[in-house]
Amino acid sequence: MRAIQAGAPSTRERANTPVLAVLLLWAFTSVLMMVAMRGNIGPTGFMDADDALRLQQVRDLLNGQGWFDLHQYRIAPPDGVAMHWTRIVDVPLAVVILLFRPFMGQAQAEIMAIVLVPLLNLAAAMLLAARLAARQFGTLAGVIAAQMVVAAIPASIRMMPLRIDHHAWQIVLALVALNGMASRGPRAGGTLAGLALALSLAISLESLPLAIIFAGVCTLRLLRGQREWLSAFMVSLGLASVALFVLTRGFSDIAEHCDAMSPSHVMALLWCATCCFVFLPRLRHRPPALSLMMLAGVGLGALAIMGTRAPQCVGLDAFAALDPLVKRVWLDSVAEGLPVWRQVLLVSATMVLLPLFGLIACWRLWRNAQDQASRDWWLDMALLLAGATVVGLLVTRASAVSCLFATIPAAWQFRAQVAAWKADPLLLRRLARMVLLVILMVPGVAIGLTVEAVMRQPARPSTAGSCNLPKALPALGRMPATTILAGLDLGPAILVNTPHTVVATAHHRASAAMRDLLVAFLGPDRGARAIMAKRGATMVVICPEDGEAGIYTDLAPDGFMAHLVAGKAPEWLEPVSPGASGGIRMWKVRQPVAPDTAR
C-alpha cells in the first residue's frame, strides 16, 4: 500500500518524526509528573497493588528465583501461588536495577527503575504516535499527537512513575503494530505488526482481541489484492509466539491456562500461521471468495484445537473457573475491568470522547481522500480504531489503546481547527473554536467535568480510604516475620516493604486463598480464627477506612471485619500499637495458632 495518506504532504515533503520536540515535551511532562508525586516515590508509594507485586517479582528474580519459576511463595501459604505473569516485563526493571546498584545501592537502584521504566514507555508512546501523525500530516501534527498521548488519561496514567506493571508495555506494542500497518511494504509491515502483537500476547492474553482485529484488517487487505499482509502478519505472529513461549514459559508449566499463553494458544496460532503460509500463495490467482472459505476453515480448525485441548478457554468468560464468592465480592468490584456503563461519568468521558473524535476525523479524511490508496488506509484506520474502541468500552483498562490510536487522526483535526481559528475574523467564532481546541486536547476531562458540574452527579465512594499505610510499614517491617491476614489490596504493599507473608492478594490464580480471606472477614470471629490456623496466620492488619473494609462491612454487618472496624475485636486477638500507624489497625493472636497440616 502506498505510504501517502489523505491529508499528508507529498512524498518529497513528508515530515520526519519531530524527535527533538517530542523529547523536550516528554522531559517537561516527566518533570511535572515527578513534582506531582513528590514524597511518594518509592516502594511505599505504589498506587496499584499490581505494581507493588511486580517489584517483588523482580526482587525474587534478582535474588536467585528461577527464570521459569513464577511462584509467589509469600502468598497463599503454605504452598504459594503460581502467577500468570511473565518475565518479559521484569527484564527492563531488572536491567536498570543491575546497572545502578553498584553505584547507588539496592534501594536507590529500585527507585531509579520504577521511575525510569514507565517514563521510557511514555517516551516510546509519544514518539510512535508522533511518527505516524508527522508522516501523514506534517511536523506540527506530530507534536500535537505526542501532546495528546499525555492528555489521554486512560493511557498516560499507566505510564507515570511507579506504574511498572505490564499495561504500559502493551500500549506501546499496540502503537508499534499500528506503525507496522502504515508501512510502505506489506511484508515488513505485516511482520512488524505480528511480532509486536506476539510480544504483547506473551505479556498478557488481554491483547488477543486486538490481534484478532488486526488479522481482520489484514484479511480485508487480502480481498483488495494485497495478499502479503495477512501471510506476513500470521506467520510472524505464530512463529514469534512459539519462540516467546519457549523462552519465557519453558516446559515446567504446560498446563492449559486461560489467563496466559498456553500450549493450546500456541498450537492454534501456529496452525493459522502454517495454513496461511502454505495455502494463501496457491490461491493468489483464484477468486477472493475461495481465500475467504479457506480462512474460515482455518478459523474453525483453530477453534477445534482450543475446544479439544482447552474447552474451558473457549467461552467469553476468562474467569469462569473463579470461585463464585471471589467473583461476586472481588472481581465484580475491580473498576478497571468493568465496562464503560459501570464507571463514573468523568471516567467514561475519558474513555469515549477521544476515540469518538478520532473516528469522526477518520470519516472526514476518508471522505476527502484524493485517491483509492488513501481511502483504503483511512477505512483500515477507522476499523482498527473502532475495534479497539469496542474492546475499550467493554473493559476499561483496554481503552488506553483506543485513545492512543485516536491521537493520529485527532491531531489532524486539531491542526485544522488551529488553522481555522487563525483565519477566522469573528471574535465570537474564534472563542468558540478556542473552546473546541481545548476539548479536542483533553476531551474526556473537559466534557466530563462540565457535565458532572451541571448534573451534580453524586460521586461513588472512594476506594482509596484515609489510611496512610506507609506510616505503618516501617514498624510492621521490624516485627518478626509471620503470616498476616490483611485486605487483598494491602497485601502487595506488605510483601514489598516487609518480610511478612500474606494469606492472599487480589490475584485470581490464588482463588482458594482469596476465598479463605473473604470467608474470614465476612464470617463470624470463630471462622476467621479457623482460617488463620489453616493458613498459619498470627496477625491481622486492616485499614478500617478503605473501600475494601467498607465492602466487607456492608456485606456482613455482623462479620469479623465489621467487628474489627467497630473496635470489637475478639478476645483471642491482642492489639498491636505500631506508633505512627496512619490509621492502620493491627492485632496479633494471643495464643499462636499452629498451621493446619491436614490438608
Domain membership of residue 54 (yes or no) is: no
Measured distance CA(8)–CA(135) in Å, rounded: 7
Residue 463 near residue 549, CB atoms below 8 Å: no
C-alpha cell at 310: 482447552
**290 and 331 in a common domain:** no
> 105 in the Ramachandran plot: left (φ > 0), alpha (ψ -120 to 50) or beta?
left
Smallest CA-to-CA distance from 72 within 593, 496, 537, 532 is with 496
CB-based contacts of 436, cutoff 8 Å, min separation 6: 417
**331 and 454 in a common domain:** yes
Q: How far is CA 139 from CA 22, 74, 146, 364, in A?
A: 10, 51, 11, 21
Count CB atoms within 10 A of the CB of residue 517: 30
Judged by DSSP in three states, 498 sits in: coil
Judged by DSSP in three states, 540 sits in: strand
**330 and 288 in a common domain:** no
pLDDT means per 10 residues in the chain (599 residues)? Answer: 37 70 93 84 85 94 92 90 90 96 93 95 96 92 92 90 93 97 92 96 93 95 89 95 92 82 92 90 82 89 89 75 86 83 81 90 91 91 96 91 94 80 64 64 50 42 59 88 92 93 90 93 94 93 88 93 92 79 86 52
**329 and 417 in a common domain:** yes
Residue 564 near residue 542, CB atoms below 8 Å: yes
Per-residue confidence (pLDDT) for residue 448, from 0 to 100: 44
- For 296-432, strand residue ranges (E) read none
Domain membership of residue 160 (yes or no) is: no
Domain range enclosing 570: 469-589
**426 and 301 in a common domain:** no
C-alpha cell at 574: 491482642
In three state form, how does the secondary structure of 178-227 look?
HHHHCCCCHHHHHHHHHHHHHHHHHHCHHHHHHHHHHHHHHHHHHHCCCC
What is the end-to-end Cα distance of the chain in Å, rounded?
A: 62
Measured distance CA(161)–CA(26) in Å, rounded: 13
Residue 76 near residue 534, CB atoms below 8 Å: no
Preceding peptide of 78 cis, ω within 30°: yes
Domain count, the chain: 3
C-alpha cell at 41: 516515590
Per-residue confidence (pLDDT) for residue 290, from 0 to 100: 87
Q: 168 has which bridge partners?
A: none
Residue 520 near residue 92, CB atoms below 8 Å: no
CATH number of the domain within which 534 lies: 3.40.50.12610
Count CB atoms within 10 A of the CB of residue 597: 8
Q: 540 has which bridge partners?
A: 485, 587
Say how many residues make up the chain. Answer: 599
Domain membership of residue 428 (yes or no) is: yes
Amino acid sitting at position 323: D
Per-residue confidence (pLDDT) for residue 446, from 0 to 100: 45
Q: 71 has which bridge partners?
A: 82
Amino acid sitting at position 439: I
Domain membership of residue 87 (yes or no) is: no
Domain membership of residue 363 (yes or no) is: yes
**Whole-structure pTM value:** 0.89
Domain membership of residue 2 (yes or no) is: no
Preceding peptide of 263 cis, ω within 30°: no
**476 and 582 in a common domain:** yes
The angle formed by the CA atoms of residues 337, 342 and 343, to the nearest 5 degrees, is 85
Question: 327: buried, middle or exposed (CB in 10 Å: 19+, 13-18, 0-12)?
Answer: middle
Domain membership of residue 581 (yes or no) is: yes
Per-residue confidence (pLDDT) for residue 311, from 0 to 100: 86
Per-residue confidence (pLDDT) for residue 441, from 0 to 100: 62
Per-residue confidence (pLDDT) for residue 583, from 0 to 100: 84
Per-residue confidence (pLDDT) for residue 348, from 0 to 100: 82
3-state helix, strand, coil in the chain (%, to 5): 65, 5, 30
Per-residue confidence (pLDDT) for residue 3, from 0 to 100: 37
Domain membership of residue 286 (yes or no) is: yes
Domain C-terminal end among 287, 319, 351: 319
